[in-house]
Amino acid sequence: MSAPMTTATGAAPGTTPNATTSATAGTTAASPRPLGILAALPQELGDLIEAMRAESGVRTITHGQRDYHVGTVRGAPCVVTLARVGKVAAAATVSALIHEFDVEAIVFTGVAGGVGSAVRVGDIVVAETLLQHDLDASPLFPRFEVPLLGVSRFAADTALAGRLAAACERFVAEEGAACAARFGTREPRVHRGLIVSGDQFVASAAAVNALREALPDALAVEMEGAAIAQVCYEYGVPCAVVRTISDTADDHAPASFVSFLTEIAGAYSNAILARFLEARGAAG
């Protein structure tokens, strides 16, 4: 399913009534359409905005109480922003990226709780499909199915997810051992499969076991990805989601999440996105 998207122009994003500009850099009508990059929390973006500022300057546009940072990173034009936490916030942010900034594709980066039996803290999961584990309109519709869409699992874009996974594998090969030694984790592994989303922070053995029973192939649980995938599906925009495992979604999750978020998440995001964007910039 798709709908017409706005035509990109250099001034279009800045014409919104509440727009504020911090720099003059940005895309023009002749420029490639940008990539939308977002995370829920600032730590999950690492130093991406600072890298953009150093490379091209940043045009910051305030829209819907969010700051959208427009510029170039590693040779790739991007719009970088925070989705904030939860499915509604993420969906609203992605809608703005599509309609106000005419992004070519969406990439979401962040942390998640591990659900799959082979997934450990420090591992990386790249979504192949995404599902809202807390959506249940039964008996009117099957459990997990989005009413009126007839879909429960939303596929990430195969090519985009493949390039993101390749960047993750390159990061692990080049820096995995050093990261494990630095942060006291095992050497990370890259997994691909189902990521599930819901408006709860899963933090008990009972809750994570319930997810495993209902969705045996789920690898990770978080709070935004499936909502982003649904919006992208409805508008025909490619998307990909990468998550670093910060905890195992059990009773130890709150402490593990906070520690991982502050100490590790940014380093992983920096390394993965740098490699992904370098390849994208080189491809034009």
Q: Which of 44, 100, 102, 128 is catalytic?
A: 44
The length of the chain is: 284
> Which residue carries 């599902």 as its tokens?
131
Contacts of 40 by beta carbon, 8 Å cutoff, 6+ apart: 82, 83, 84, 85, 89, 90, 110, 223, 224
Annotation marks residue 247 as catalytic: yes
Q: What are phi and psi of 109, to 5 degrees?
A: -125, 150
> Which amino acid is present at 88?
V
Annotation marks residue 67 as catalytic: no
> Which amino acid is present at 197?
S
Residue 102 in tokens: 């005419």
Residue 118 in tokens: 């082979």
Sign of CA dihedral 106, 79, 40, 122: positive
Using DSSP's 3-state secondary structure scheme, residue 112 falls into strand
Q: Which of 123, 128, 175, 247 is catalytic?
A: 247
- Which residues are annotated as catalytic? 44, 247
